[in-house]
Structure 1
Amino acid sequence: MTGFHARPLTRPAPLRGSNGVAFGPDRRLYVAQFLAGEISAVDLATGDVEVIVPAGGPVQAPDDLAFGADGSMYITDLVPGRVWRRRPDGTFTLVTDRVRLPNGIAFAGDRLFVNEMIPHGRLLELGAGEPSVLTGELAMGNAMQLGPDGRLYYPHMLTGEVFRIPPDGGTPELVASDVPEPVAVRFDRAGTLLVLSRGAAGVITRIDLFGTGARTLLTTGLPGLDNAAFDTENRMYVSSFAGGGIAEVHPDGRAREVAPRGFAGPYGVTVDLGGTVHTADHYRITEPRDDDVTTTELLPFAHGIAADGDLLHLTSQYGQVRTYDRGTRTVRTRAGGLDQPLGIAVRADGTLLVAEAGAGRVLTVDAGDEVAELATGLGRPVDVTADGEGRWYVSDEERGAVYRLDGEPAVVVADLVAPQGIVVAGGRLYVAETGKGRVVAVELATGETRVVLELPANPTPARDFPALHAHGLPGVPRPFAGLAAGPGGSLYLTSGGTVVHLTPAEHP
């Protein structure tokens, strides 16, 4: 039994998703990272990234931030529904926990405002005591800013509109409609309004609001734009919730990378018949190659993935099984209401097998989208796969085992620590044993087990806690390692913020 050489297809990104951005007193660009649970500072001259607020502290899901006059950082903690103040000495104070999915945050002088990223959300002023409501019925608010006219500007993400309102309240005024997928409202230093799109093309709508009213569309090619900030020279820097990183956007729409983009996860991985690698990367489906990550489609909450001709079958930890058709670029929902479905595989007849981790089951979804149980009573099933004879296997992270699903589940290998991704290739069952940071192989004919790869320590480990839910919207997904077979006896593993290509050791 041979070992493997490991080669990352991409470099792990220093920013695992990038959301709210704001310049700090030290002139560095501070970046909230919702998925990583961190806040980092980027030196725009060098691209160096320093973690300022690490994961594991009081802030769980930072999504936007702003700085007060004294240098304190104010942070919207999206999923728990909190707003924090971080003083220059690094200490935290809870500003409020009486908001629902707070996202956009802005100052008007020394007055602090936030809005809620939910349907029928509110725009609130925060001070002592209860938040004061300026207005309600926001159709999912997001990044907002005080305009040159002294009014607060904010997007309605669900309706493609931008509104403004005086800081003392009143009737919101519609500023712009038919804006493509607005996610953030920003003014440059000349007073021009720019509205970022969260779509795949990375569109920015420039509006000469206080002049001719003319609109210009800039196409950056950066999928999943999230936020922007302007430096003292009026240079525009943007973040991406989908790919992370920071880029400078020139007035003509050209983008220059400052901090490199990468994966938000990745989670599941699959290889199609043509040898193309596909990953499920939470906000999108991707193809990693040549030290880059290409977005196939923005598809929120993609976690497990299995290739099937032109189809990509996907799970979401938030309960769905979907099929994406690459030819028509359409999505079909196959099942819903499940309890943390993770791994997914497909039979020759098109039937899907799904590891429903939260319910301890393996399910089948047939061509007519009928859902049935294949196995029950498991601990925490994570992944499913088949051998060349059509026998099915499931990894059970909680019980440290992999089972064969012939009637009652039969143990194939036990005494593992957090087995997750599995795949059968060349008569061997390969298992990503994440609790020990290695890949093990099991000879299915003899039961012989051997470690074939020890993985290097992950310098930026993903947080390991259950998926959060709040106010009917999903939060941070639980990480897991995917494993897939490729051409020539190779394997692909999602680990350490990248996809690792494993080639048999006797091959170059």
Structure 2
Amino acid sequence: MRVRRGACHGRAPALLLALAVGGAAQGGEAPPLVDFTGTGSDYLVQFLVPGADFLSIHGLTFDRDDHLLVGSVMGQAIYTVDTRSGEATQLVGPPRGCADDLEFGPDGSLVWTSILTGEVFVRRPDGSISVLADNLPGANSVAFRDDGRLFVTQVLWGDALWELDPAGKHPPRRVASDLGGLNGFDFDGAGHLYGPLIYQGVVVRIDVETGAVSTVASGFGLPVAVNFDSRGQLYVADSKLGRIVRVDVTSGEQTLVATVDTAIDNLAFDAHDRLYITNMVDNAVYAVNTRTGATRTVTRSRLSVPGGLDVVTVDGVDQVYLGDLFAFRRIDGDSGAVHVVRRGIRDPMAWPMAVNVQGDLIVTASWFTDAVEVYDRVQDTSRAVYHDLADPVDAVLLANGDVLVAEQGHGRLLRISGAAPGTRTVVAEGLPGLAAMRPAGADAVYVSDVLGGALLRIDLASGARQVVAGGLDHPEGFDVAPDGSIVLAEVGRQRVVRIDPRSGQVEAIARNLALGYPGAKGTPAGYIQTGVGVGAGGDIYVSSDRTTALYKITAQ
């Protein structure tokens, strides 16, 4: 092929040189051909940790055309997922899509359990959605028998097995209660129910007519789900040990199939007996080769449910401690590398959703577990865990060792004695919109009020409150910057602002951020806290619940 060399030939090097050195003309200086300074901005917004389609992954199933569907509890959504590419498409969104487990019936209806709201939903073949049952706290697992009979269980906030009318015309029938946490279960071809009792570490068979229970296999760390393949072989997922095993239902003999990461949530077979599992810490779906034990990642992200966070600067590098619900993570503020401090199921922890770093200690709070934990980040040990709380959305450690809890369920600030944890004193009440909290010196705290639209300063001795800034739209997480200003996520306007605590003046820092996932019925007003932290150098870190990501905002 001949190429015609025209007048342009030879000019490219000159252009590249001009771009590189700024372009000089004979007889003096000339402006560069291209101005690389741009238009400028006060702040640069970047993703330090990229996001994902899902805000946690739990149940999974296949439809009659072998399409994979997965359920997200915190994301309150159901998705179809391409098992080759990992691409996801939302089928049912919030709030009705909250699915801890999901299953197709013989007529093509999709049924799922909403563990957060205690409801069971059905999506008919025509696309209509309705409630099959409610008032079932902890509605967890669901399965159809081959004859079309439908069963669900309660776990965590209940402990029972129920039969439901698929048509929704008759009330639920309780089959058995106080089982020990019957989780993901399945039926064999003869109609016998098999499932794991998570609190007892066994797999059992249950007669759904009488409720009689018999043990099939034991010796599991935390069995969370079972499934039969097309040949009638039973597979068990052990979340604590990170194992998939095959169980002979007659003898109870176990055969190791695969070793995987801990925190498996559920499993399902496609029409070709290919096994898929979900992992709630990894926010992942994996394909498991049942012959070799090899796994293939279908989809996975570095975060799962990013919420409250705080920052400590070590050797000039910000370290972001993030409450990711199913894991407690530390993120390098320069590289974005994500380190697991505590991994759910594998490690004991209080399932953090809010974080305050105070010296060597970190205080986390979780309304999901109604617990507050004090963690020593240097010794890598838990100092104390406090229970019997009503939706604790944040907590801070006081100078004398007491813990102050933002107890949203009672709309109050509660002081727990470090020396005598049973001694609890109300500091302030009438605060139903509590969302986040930070120390404001030794004698006060700042709190954000999502319902009142304000940032408040509350005196610890008197409980008196002062409005630092009002007129805010759904203020959530915030932090006190090195200069004393307060950087806050104004979720209702999807922006981050800087507040002068003396004048209350509000200045926008970053706009159009993916903040503010809609909350589930019966959960705290702030739902998943949009966390904000500021490093020693002024860099700002913000969690994104809408994209399961972490922003970094830098002054220019």
TM-score normalised by structure 2 residue count: 0.78
**CA spacing shift, 1:417–1:132, aligned 2, 3 Å:** closer
**CA spacing shift, 1:503–1:79, aligned 2, 3 Å:** closer
Partner of 1:427: 484
**Residues 122-177 of structure 1, C-alpha deviations (whole Å, 9 max, x = no match):** 25364663445554442111111123565221111111111113565573321011
**CA spacing shift, 1:81–1:344, aligned 2, 3 Å:** closer
Which letter does structure 1 place at the counterpart of 2:436? D
Alignment of 1:143-154 (within 5 A): 143-147=184-188, 150-154=191-195
Partner of 1:455: 512
2:340 is equivalent to residue 340 of structure 1: no
**Residues 30-61 of structure 1, C-alpha deviations (whole Å, 9 max, x = no match):** 112222221111111221111111223xx363
**CA spacing shift, 1:107–1:179, aligned 2, 3 Å:** same
Measured after TM superposition, the shift of residue 295 of structure 1 is: 6.0
Which letter does structure 2 place at the counterpart of 1:415? G
Distance in structure 2 (CA, Å) of the matches to 1:381 and 1:428: 21
Structure 1 unaligned regions, length at least 5: 469-474
Say which of 275, 284, 293 aligns to 1:245: 284
Partner of 2:500: 443
SS in structure 2 of the partner of residue 435 of structure 1: helix
2:320 is equivalent to residue 280 of structure 1: no
Distance in structure 1 (CA, Å) of the matches to 2:532 and 2:326: 19
Distance in structure 1 (CA, Å) of the matches to 2:398 and 2:174: 54
**CA spacing shift, 1:3–1:90, aligned 2, 3 Å:** same
Partner of 2:534: 485
**CA spacing shift, 1:416–1:108, aligned 2, 3 Å:** closer
Q: Is the 8 A contact 2:514 2:547 kept in 1?
A: no
Which letter does structure 2 place at the counterpart of 1:157? I
Distance in structure 1 (CA, Å) of the matches to 2:432 and 2:193: 50
2:352 is equivalent to residue 302 of structure 1: yes
Distance in structure 2 (CA, Å) of the matches to 1:466 and 1:73: 21
Structure 2 unaligned regions, length at least 5: 1-40
2:550 is equivalent to residue 494 of structure 1: no
Q: Is the 8 A contact 2:183 2:197 kept in 1?
A: yes
Measured after TM superposition, the shift of residue 266 of structure 1 is: 1.9
Distance in structure 2 (CA, Å) of the matches to 1:231 and 1:378: 49
Aligned residues: 492
Measured after TM superposition, the shift of residue 81 of structure 1 is: 4.0
Partner of 2:52: 13
Q: Which moved more, 1:174-183 or 1:277-286?
A: 277-286
2:438 is equivalent to residue 385 of structure 1: yes
**CA spacing shift, 1:159–1:455, aligned 2, 3 Å:** same
**CA spacing shift, 1:6–1:390, aligned 2, 3 Å:** farther
Distance in structure 1 (CA, Å) of the matches to 2:496 and 2:90: 30
Distance in structure 2 (CA, Å) of the matches to 1:412 and 1:104: 46
TM-score normalised by structure 1 residue count: 0.85
Distance in structure 2 (CA, Å) of the matches to 1:85 and 1:396: 36
Say which of 197, 209, 222 aligns to 2:238: 197
Distance in structure 2 (CA, Å) of the matches to 1:9 and 1:358: 33
Measured after TM superposition, the shift of residue 191 of structure 1 is: 3.9
Measured after TM superposition, the shift of residue 80 of structure 1 is: 4.3
Partner of 2:181: 140
Distance in structure 2 (CA, Å) of the matches to 1:312 and 1:204: 35
2:224 is equivalent to residue 224 of structure 1: no
SS in structure 2 of the partner of residue 282 of structure 1: coil
2:157 is equivalent to residue 112 of structure 1: no
Q: Is the 8 A contact 1:280 1:286 kept in 2?
A: yes
Which letter does structure 1 place at the counterpart of 2:384? R
Distance in structure 1 (CA, Å) of the matches to 2:208 and 2:431: 55
**CA spacing shift, 1:337–1:148, aligned 2, 3 Å:** same
Distance in structure 2 (CA, Å) of the matches to 1:245 and 1:443: 42
Higher relative strand content: 1
Q: Which moved more, 1:367-376 or 1:134-143?
A: 367-376
SS in structure 2 of the partner of residue 276 of structure 1: strand
**Residues 211-246 of structure 1, C-alpha deviations (whole Å, 9 max, x = no match):** 89243274311x421111122343221112344231
Alignment of 1:33-48 (within 5 A): 33-48=72-87
**CA spacing shift, 1:382–1:3, aligned 2, 3 Å:** farther
Measured after TM superposition, the shift of residue 415 of structure 1 is: 2.0
2:506 is equivalent to residue 415 of structure 1: no
Distance in structure 1 (CA, Å) of the matches to 2:447 and 2:113: 39
Distance in structure 2 (CA, Å) of the matches to 1:494 and 1:317: 18
Supply the RMSD in Å over aligned alpha carbons. Answer: 3.2
Q: Is the 8 A contact 2:223 2:237 kept in 1?
A: yes
**CA spacing shift, 1:123–1:415, aligned 2, 3 Å:** closer
Distance in structure 2 (CA, Å) of the matches to 1:315 and 1:261: 23
Partner of 2:25: none
SS in structure 1 of the partner of residue 306 of structure 2: coil
2:110 is equivalent to residue 53 of structure 1: no
Q: Is the 8 A contact 2:245 2:254 kept in 1?
A: no
Measured after TM superposition, the shift of residue 308 of structure 1 is: 3.7
Distance in structure 1 (CA, Å) of the matches to 2:341 and 2:286: 17
Q: Is the 8 A contact 1:437 1:454 kept in 2?
A: yes
Partner of 2:407: 356
Distance in structure 1 (CA, Å) of the matches to 2:449 and 2:284: 34
Alignment of 1:129-208 (within 5 A): 129-147=170-188, 150-166=191-207, 169=210, 171-199=212-240, 202-208=242-248
Measured after TM superposition, the shift of residue 114 of structure 1 is: 1.6
